[in-house]
A and B are shown apart, each in its own frame.
Chain A
Amino acid sequence: GQNIDQPTEMTATEGAIVQINCTYQTSGFNGLFWYQQHAGEAPTFLSYNVLDGLEEKGRFSSFLSRSKGYSYLLLKELQMKDSASYLCALMDSNYQLIWGAGTKLIIKP
């Protein structure tokens, strides 16, 4: 079967760095995704990793290790607007997305 785990909630300080981890088990893998969802709003795409390594996009970076079934989203220079839920999702062998429950990130001044 398939399973995705990510922490339920994390707290960080404005200006700091935070790493949100995601671990998964799957029989078929076609990519790992991160989405951001502000409360009461729709999810929006952040990143897509299909090969091992780090993908950097401004203040956000995403890392993938397929052999370990592990990914993380790294947020630098945290801003209050980064307070949101961060959703990890994997694309299975049928090219469908399997979603984690999301990590609620609380940013404190």
Chain B
Amino acid sequence: IAGITQAPTSQILAAGRRMTLRCTQDMRHNAMYWYRQDLGLGLRLIHYSNTAGTTGKGEVPDGYSVSRANTDDFPLTLASAVPSQTSVYFCASSDGLADTGELFFGEGSRLTVL
């Protein structure tokens, strides 16, 4: 593993089903983020974690949950998927965003909810 790995790359899901998007980083970054990207809109922050054991809500947290049991993993769960959650989801990490401004992104997970 090098950088951030997301899985699955793509998924079609029936409405009402539960889905977990996985995110793993090997850079030992403290902070991790989940964004969704929709056509015509900027990246929107769903949830974040500044360090292992802590999480926080972003701009659009409803319908999503996260956990941060360790430094490397930051899964995003949709408890009961709805069509409006159809989007491309990006996991990202940083080591001092205020210092460098650099986020490292995974390759994205394209989710379609029918």
B107 touches A42 (CB 8 A): yes
Closest to B99 in A: A48
- Between A and B, 19 residue pairs with Cβ closer than 8 Å are A31-B98, A35-B103, A42-B90, A42-B105, A42-B106, A42-B107, A42-B108, A43-B90, A43-B103, A43-B105, A45-B101, A45-B102, A45-B103, A87-B42, A89-B43, A91-B98, A95-B97, A99-B43, A99-B44
B90 touches A101 (CB 8 A): no
A96 touches B44 (CB 8 A): no
Binding site for B on A (CB under 8 A): 4, 30-31, 33, 35, 41-45, 48, 50, 87, 89, 91, 95-102
A78 to chain B, nearest CB (A): 24
How long is the Cα–Cα vector from A98 to B41 in the complex, in angstroms?
11
A96 touches B45 (CB 8 A): yes
Closest to A30 in B: B98
Which residues of chain B are near A50, meaning CB under 8 Å? 101
How long is the Cα–Cα vector from A95 to B97 in the complex, in angstroms?
7
How long is the Cα–Cα vector from A96 to B97 in the complex, in angstroms?
9
Q: Which 6 A-B pairs have the closest CB atoms?
A: A48-B101, A99-B42, A42-B105, A99-B43, A45-B102, A101-B42
How long is the Cα–Cα vector from A31 to B98 in the complex, in angstroms?
8
Which residues of chain A are near B97, meaning CB under 8 Å? 91, 95, 97
B103 touches A97 (CB 8 A): yes
How long is the Cα–Cα vector from A97 to B103 in the complex, in angstroms?
10
Given A42-B90, A44-B105: A101 in contact with B98 (beta carbons within 8 A): no
